[in-house]
Structures are given as C-alpha cells and as structure tokens.
C-alpha cells in the first residue's frame, strides 16, 4: 500500500484537539529530493499534518513511516534525535535567536550536534553564501530585513544536510518579490542537496515551486501515489 520508494509516508492519520478533529483520515507521501506542497484553506489541518510528519505531534491513530522506521511509535528521545539529524525546519515567524548573530544562528544546529564552533561557522558561511546572505554574518536578526532573515533561517535549516525540510508558510510574512526570491533560493538549494521539502502553503504561487500538491480539506487528504 505504501508508495514504492517513498522516504516519508503517512497513512490514515487522525488527530483531535479537544472536540475538534484536526486530522480525519490524512494520507501523504514524499520521495527523496521531492518537493510536495500541502495546500488547503485555513484550519483544514495542514499544519497539524506537518507537525505529525515531523514527529513534533503524535497522531491519535494512523501510521507514519520514515525511511522504513515507524515514527509514530518511536520513543520521544529517538524522535528528537532524528529531528536533529535528518530534518530541517523553516517557519513563518520568530525562528532566529535574537541574541545570536546571523552566522551563529545558522551554525546553531551544528553546535547542538557537537560540531566545533570554527567548523560549524565555516559550514554556516557556505550555506549563507548560497542563500546570498553571506554579508550579514555579524549582524543580529533585529538588524536585517524580513526577506534576509528568512533566507538566514533557510540557510540554518539546510546546514545539517537534512533529508527532509519542513516549511510552514515560509513566505507568509514577505511581499511578493522577497517571497519569490526566498522560494527560488530555497528550492534551488534543497534540490542541489537532494533534500525533500514538505511545503505547507495556502498560496498557489508558492505551491508552484513544488513537484506536486496534496490538498487537505476538513482534516482529510488524498495522495494519489497510494492508489497507483
């Protein structure tokens, strides 16, 4: 039943917050290096699906398989370690640590994984160059524009060479031109690193950077890969 060759799949996920069902039979799959947009109206369950897929939230029922391992029944410590080693995250707001410089922010996931400062910052600088923000290394997040800050956040999500990137409305706070530049550089960098992207967005222009889309409506999503 699971689509052949997929890296991450979710089957029949259900998740309820209080009386409200957030997911009510959600299916999803993504292949290595693939970019899949998760679309749907506000409150349809897009973000809950992303949180379940990333192992941040445990579904009430259903299965999530990552690289042959069952994520939904994995102990918390193991899931946390997997998130640090294999996953990267880009959100809409407030993801950079304001007290650290931009290069320290980008290097942070490596430092948390035990990489020495000098080496971590060298690798961080490489990713910042790819995202065209290499001149902002010594600035703090409060001193850069929204678009620049988002590119710093994208560089940080890629610095550990993750296999899956989770992006929740990554351009939601940006104007068209900046949003477009972020998507351009983000998808280009992810493709060159063969990282897959789960891209939650309600904007069609952002979804157009993906390879295919999955629509979530009232907590339900169909993935045509499951029926092939």
Partner 1 sequence: MVCIVLGMSIGHTLLGLLESGPRHGYDLKRAFDERFGHDRPLHYGQVYSTMSRLLKNGLVEVDGMEAGGGPERKRYAITEAGVSDVDQWLAQPEKPEPYLQSTLYTKVVLALLTDRSAADLLDTQRAEHLRLMRILTDRKRRGDLADQLICDHALFHLEADLRWLELTAARLTQLSTEVRA
Distances from the Cα of 35 to the Cαs of 120, 121, 159, 201, in angstroms?
27, 28, 18, 12
Q: Which of 94, 184, 192, 194 binds partner 1 (CB under 8 A)?
A: 184
3-class secondary-structure state, position 167? strand
Does 43 engage in binding with partner 1 (CB under 8 A)? Answer: no
Report how many residues bind partner 1 under the rule CB under 8 A. Answer: 12
Number of residues that make up the chain: 228
Does 215 contact partner 1 by CB under 8 A?
A: yes
Nearest residue (CB) to partner 1, 39 versus 164: 39
Among residues 210, 216, 219, 221, the one that binds partner 1 under rule CB under 8 A: 210
- Extract the tokens encoding 179: 């949003």
Do the beta carbons of residue 195 and residue 165 sit within 8 Å? yes
List 50, 209, 219, 223, residue binding partner 1 (CB under 8 A): 209
Q: Kindly report the CA angle at 181 between 149 and 221, in degrees rounded to 5?
A: 90
Contact of 9 with 29, CB cutoff 8 Å: yes
- Shortest Å distance, C-beta 138 to partner 1: 31
Span of 64-72, 144-152, 159-167, 199-207 interacting with partner 1 by CB under 8 A: 199-207
Nearest approach, Cβ of residue 204 and partner 1 (Å): 4
Residue 205 touches partner 1, criterion: CB under 8 A: yes
Q: How far is the CB of 180 from partner 1 (least distance, A)?
A: 9
Residues 6+ apart with CB under 8 A from 106: 124, 125, 127, 128, 152, 155, 156, 159
Q: Binding residue for partner 1 (CB under 8 A) from 5, 17, 41, 99?
A: 41
In angstroms, rounded to a whole number, what is the distance separating the alpha carbons of residues 85 and 129?
22
Angle at 140 between CA 138 and CA 141, to 5 degrees: 135
201 binds partner 1 (CB under 8 A): no
Binding site for partner 1 (CB under 8 A): 41, 184, 203-205, 207-210, 213, 215, 217
């Amino acid at each position: 039943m699971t689509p052949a060759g997929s890296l991450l799949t979710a089957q029949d996920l259900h998740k309820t917050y209080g009386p409200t069902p957030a997911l009510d039979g959600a299916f999803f799959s993504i292949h290595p290096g693939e970019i899949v947009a998760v679309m749907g109206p506000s409150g349809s369950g897009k973000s809950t699906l992303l949180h379940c897929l990333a192992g941040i939230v445990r579904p009430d029922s259903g299965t999530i398989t990552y690289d042959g391992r069952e994520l939904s029944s994995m102990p918390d410590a193991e899931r946390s370690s997997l998130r640090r080693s294999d996953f990267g995250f880009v959100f809409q707001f407030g993801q950079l640590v304001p007290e650290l410089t931009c290069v320290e922010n980008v290097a942070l996931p490596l430092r948390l994984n035990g990489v020495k400062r000098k080496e971590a910052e060298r690798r961080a600088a490489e990713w910042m160059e790819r995202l065209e923000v290499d001149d902002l290394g010594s600035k703090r997040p409060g001193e850069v524009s929204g678009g620049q800050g988002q590119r710093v956040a994208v560089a940080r999500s890629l610095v550990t060479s993750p296999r899956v990137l989770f992006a929740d409305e990554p351009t939601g706070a940006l104007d068209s031109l900046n949003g477009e530049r972020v998507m351009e550089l983000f998808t280009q960098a992810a493709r060159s690193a063969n990282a897959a992207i789960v891209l939650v967005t309600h904007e069609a222009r952002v979804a157009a950077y993906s390879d295919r889309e999955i629509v979530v409506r009232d907590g339900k999503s169909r993935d045509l890969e499951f029926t092939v």
